[in-house]
Amino acid sequence: MTLQEYFENTKGFGILSTADQDGKVDAAVYSRPHVFEDGTIGSIMRDRLTHENLKTNPHAVFLFMEEGKGYRGKRLFLTKIKEETDPDLIQSLCRRCYPNELQVQEPRFLVVFKVDKELPLIGSGGE
């Protein structure tokens, strides 16, 4: 199963962990990422601590825990490769966007990552 199929068909929640240039860590709840045809993934974010950390340290980990019993999911080790600010592009990708008149008018960013490594939620992946 590809990452695109996985995230389109699997319910759960995600945590995106980042660190600043000095190694001070942060973790924030994020929805399922957008998976693009080239294998990169993207998350829409506001200009808060996670986004700030990625300005000085492009590395992150996305931990996704599947709904249900047990501990199933994925850990994706990521490197930021680009950022988009086009509001039309971001709106087209937004899964839970409100009409423009109800949105808070603050900048949003589509941050795109390459996936460096994929591991299961638990264990090293070597069966």
Cβ neighbours for 32, distance < 8 A, ≥ 6 positions apart: 7, 10, 12, 14, 64
Burial class (CB in 10 A: 0-12, 13-18, 19+), 78: buried
What's residue 126's pLDDT?
65
Token readout for 124 is 């090293």
Ranges of each domain in the chain? 3-120
Which residues of the chain are under the pLDDT cut of 50? 101-102
Helix residue ranges, H only, the chain: 3-9, 49-56, 87-93
What's residue 44's pLDDT?
92
Pairing of strands 41-46, 108-120: antiparallel
pTM: 0.88
What's residue 93's pLDDT?
80
What's residue 19's pLDDT?
98
CATH for 3-120, options being 2.60.320.10, 2.30.110.10, 3.40.50.620, 3.40.30.10? 2.30.110.10
What's residue 100's pLDDT?
54
